[in-house]
Chain A
Amino acid sequence: MLRQIHSLPGWMAALFVTLLAVTGAMLSLHPLQAHLQSVQLAQGQATVAELAELAKQRYPGVEEIKRSADGIVSVYFSENNQVQRVQINPLTGAEIPEVHPSELFRWSKNMHRTLLMADTGRIVIGISALCTFILSISGALLVAKRAGGWRHFFHKAQGTQSQRLHVVVGRAALLGLLLSSSTGLYLSAGSLGLISEASEADPAFPDHFNDNTDNKAHATVPLGRFAALQSTDLRDLRSLVFPSANSANEPYFLMSNQGAGYVDASTGEMLTFEAHNTARKIYEWIYALHTGEGLWWLALVLGISALSVPALAITGVTLWWKRRKLRSEITDNSAPENAETLILVGSETGTTWKFANALHRSLRRAGQRVHTAPLDQLEQNYPSARHLLILTATYGEGSAPASAQSFLSKLREHTGLQSLRYAVLGFGDRQFPKFCQYAYEVDAALQEKGLQKLCPITTADRQSVQEFARWGQALTKAMPLDFTLEPVEDHRKTDTFTLIERIDYDDLTDAPSCVLRFQASALQQKKGGRRLPTLPHFEAGDLVAILPPETSIPRFYSLASSASDGFLEICVRRQKNGLCSRFLHTLKVGDTIKAFIQPNPHFRPEAGESPVILIGAGAGIGPLAGFIRHNVHRRPMHLYWGGRTQQSGFLYQEELNRYLKDHRLSELNTAFSRENEPSYVQDRIRANGDALRDLFSKGAQVLVCGGRDMARGVQEALDAVIAPLAMDTQTLITQGRYREDVY
């Protein structure tokens, strides 16, 4: 529900809110501009009486003195029946060259307040302000919920690049946007007459004057000695209107921050005075908070916050669109009553739908009638169904994702389903303490209901396609049904790559390794008419999904290079029964493969200066070598690598030695398991405890790449090493300082 509340006005108002924000940001420069033009006064430095006297001497035809909230003092005086305006220094009376607000500024202001459409525009503006307010609140709630509570509000944002950008920018701008939108809403309500704007004080016009007409000459007090003006600090002045020459006996009219009053023109005493009422003071406060008038630094903060809105609008609409698209991509969806297999999806941001779609397509191809729906749309009756497959994410600290809010309660009251066999695939992020919590709850609830399991619950960390493929294999055996999982990414995006170089490391075992370098086969038109092979975008640590000939199941390899290197590099060990690795090992220079890129943005060093500990075994060195190659800033990088034999089995040996020399690599620790004294990478870690503890105390982060067993061993070894520091790898994982790419 919260998500719907967040997306609907967001999408509708994106345009208007962006317009408001951009014009608002432009207007936010005005208070600073005014501040720079104005003379700053200390409280008690000067009185209105002194300024009035000064103005009268310099400009005998003075009609009015105004002081803006930003401190700009203007004198209006009559000369040759024309009124002139000058901006002056209120202490010296010296004229200050005036900078006129530009046409663009005035246009922005009108656009910001009325969309140049008078009252209709004001209504639209008011609604947009309301939308911004709702968006800020619901957005903050979503971020808190996703992070697992307000305590974690400022934790590292997760998800795709758009998602992270939306969260990071939104979080930074939150307070500014809340202030701008709530105060804007109030001003809007005032200008639309929904609430009272409350006027400035409006004192009664005096009914008598101390007008000693008989001996005016000596009874008249000089302006500079007017008691009413002497008692008003210059900083409190808003305007002083001089008596009109056209009417006799007219008083002065003084408007100050405290109130307004009429001042007797001959005695200088306050004749009538009225203070601004509380409603007016509240209005003025809110007005100042919104416009930053007199508070130039606040105006700048609000202006910068407002500039975030275009970015939020673009990323927000993109995310909304992607979510919609992912769901609507399900085709050939059977009706619930006909379906043999049910796929129910629990998704918050829509990514789980990608996997559901791949599963749906695979099962369709295997001849199954499949019904795919959100978990919330659990039906009472599925007469033809035999299998129930559930793919679900977990939101925040173990709560149900958006499309599964009512599933568990519906399930509790459900009377059927017992004849179905089920399997659950949970999606989550190991950096969160309650990893895949909701998937476990669903699994337990189904078991309690009496449903038979097809296979044990499987969890996929950060949308791991490998885990997904593994789960698919378990399903084919359990259902049993002969199907192969289609790739999650769209087939049409497959590119062709040509092998340009291979380096073999024959370690004299049955499983030799090789490093393969490819370039894009397709020639693409570049600017300037040259046709060059262009690689898709990728970075070391991303995955390349390779489709061996005549198969539709991709195998994933970690990339050892970035597109900027000009080639696509992977390191492959030949597996005994590995269809794809055997295929890759047969390739000769000039041969081609079909593949696509699967981004894996979590597996790469965090930006910064802190040390990086790279740990890998076998072909897992690939992405680690890529990270070192790109360590142009020479941050400390320490590599722990385990291989089989030192002789001819030392992957990347030459390259790594070169990096040691040019300091891209600080330290190289190797362990070989088929030497006379076999040792494993875990042993090297234990042996180097002191050095490692030193790195961890400097904020080191760990990147592990290799087989599952090795990764488990490394984690145990590191836990033992850092225990004296009162640290553990689980905490490091939640902090994003320990990341794995395992297979």
Chain B
Amino acid sequence: MQSTHPLRTSAAAFLLAITAAGCAPTSSADTVKIQAQLNNYRGDGAYLAVYLTDNNGAYKQTLWISGKKPKYYKHLADWARGSGQQRSEYDGLSGASTTSGSTLKINADIAPALVDSGYQIRVDSAVEDQRDYRAEIIVPLTREGAGKPIAGKGYVQSLTYQF
């Protein structure tokens, strides 16, 4: 972690230098591409919470919420408890529900310090008239794990993240 940090910073500075000068990078965040491919579960669009927790499952940060109606967010139970469903936690990080069989693609800003330090990406999911899944995906956020698909227990067929 200590050794990689300078490298990341210089890489970000390099990127900044060769692209647009007007676009300032957010402190020291990495963009992580996350793809979640859903099963054909035969139902309405799924509500998904993609979020980060620490090693013990304690909530850290929201990466994305699929589903527009906050009144259904409590069905994303672990995320809801961790985040307290505070609007500030998902402001600008939500969109339409993800339909059966489709793929959710998001770019999440994650501080480099959280990579390879015991943090996990988790996904809670819920579909109307079907079961709610708490943490149907739990995958450690590591450089080594990047690009390796992880199977979900519920509606998510597989999740892949890449730096």
Contacts and interface: CB of A to CB of B under 8 A. Distances in A.
Contact of B43 (A76, A106, A246): A106
Contacts of B134: 241, 244
B125 to A, nearest CB: 11
A76 B43 CA distance: 17
Interface in A150-205: 197, 199, 202, 205
B71 A246 contact: no
A568 B57 CA distance: 90
A110 B57 CA distance: 36
Contacts of B44: 110
B151 to A, nearest CB: 6
A82 interface: yes
B56 interface: yes
Interface in B111-148: 131, 133-136, 138
Contact of B74 (A66, A83, A199): A199
A373 B74 CA distance: 64
B131 A64 contact: yes
Nearest to A114: B44
A78 interface: yes
Nearest to A196: B71
A647 B44 CA distance: 85
Contacts of A85: 131
A81 interface: yes
A703 to B, nearest CB: 59
B131 A66 contact: yes
A244 B135 contact: yes
B81 interface: yes
Interface residues of B, number: 18
Contacts of A81: 151, 153
Contacts of B74: 199, 202
Nearest to B96: A118
Contacts of A490: none
A247 B131 contact: no
Contact of B42 (A82, A83, A106, A247): A106
Contacts of B81: 205
A30 to B, nearest CB: 11
Which among B74, B135, B153 has the highest number of chain A CB atoms within 10 Å? B153
B56 A82 contact: no
Contacts of B42: 100, 103, 106
B56 A247 contact: yes
27 contacts: A64-B131, A66-B131, A76-B131, A81-B153, A82-B151, A82-B153, A83-B131, A83-B133, A83-B136, A83-B153, A83-B154, A85-B131, A100-B42, A103-B42, A106-B42, A106-B43, A110-B44, A199-B71, A199-B74, A202-B74, A244-B78, A244-B135, A246-B57, A246-B135, A246-B138, A247-B56, A247-B57
Contacts of B78: 244
A615 to B, nearest CB: 66
B132 to A, nearest CB: 8
Contacts of A83: 131, 133, 136, 153-154
Interface in A207-245: 241, 244
A241 B56 CA distance: 20
A244 B132 CA distance: 13
> Which of B57, B134, B136: most chain A Cβ within 10 A?
B134
A205 B59 CA distance: 15
Contacts of A106: 42-43
The 8 A-B residue pairs whose C-beta atoms are closest, nearest first, are A83-B153, A247-B57, A246-B57, A246-B135, A76-B131, A205-B81, A83-B154, A244-B134
Contacts of A247: 56-57
A84 to B, nearest CB: 10
A197 B42 CA distance: 26
Contacts of B131: 64, 66, 76, 83, 85
Contacts of A103: 42
B85 to A, nearest CB: 11
Interface in A222-274: 241, 244, 246-248
A241 B75 CA distance: 12
Contacts of A246: 57, 135, 138
A118 to B, nearest CB: 9
Contacts of A244: 78, 134-135
B56 to A, nearest CB: 7
A387 to B, nearest CB: 69
Contacts of B154: 83
Given A205-B81, A246-B135, A78 B71 contact: no
Given A76-B131, A83-B133, 4 more contacts: A81-B151, A82-B153, A199-B71, A246-B57
A247 to B, nearest CB: 5
Contacts of A202: 74
Nearest to B155: A83
Interface in A69-83: 76, 78, 81-83
Interface in A39-73: 64, 66
A248 B81 CA distance: 15
A116 B64 CA distance: 26
A199 B138 CA distance: 29
Nearest to A244: B134
A524 B131 CA distance: 64
A78 B153 contact: yes
B152 to A, nearest CB: 9
Contacts of A241: 134
A707 B30 CA distance: 103
A589 to B, nearest CB: 73
A231 B136 CA distance: 31
A197 B78 CA distance: 23
A83 B154 CA distance: 6
A81 B135 CA distance: 12
Interface string B53-85: 000110000000000000100100010010000
**In the complex, which of the residues B43, B74, B131, B136 has the most CB atoms of chain A within 10 Å of its own CB atom?**
B131
B58 to A, nearest CB: 9
Contacts of B56: 247-248
Contacts of A199: 71, 74
A334 B74 CA distance: 71
Nearest to B129: A109
B79 to A, nearest CB: 13
Interface string B32-50: 0000000000111000000
B87 to A, nearest CB: 17
Contacts of B136: 83
B27 to A, nearest CB: 30
A248 B131 CA distance: 23
A197 B136 CA distance: 28
A397 B60 CA distance: 75
B30 to A, nearest CB: 25
Contacts of A66: 131
Contacts of B71: 197, 199
Nearest to A68: B129
Contacts of B151: 81-82
A78 B73 CA distance: 24
Contacts of B153: 78, 81-83
Interface in A91-133: 100, 103, 106, 110
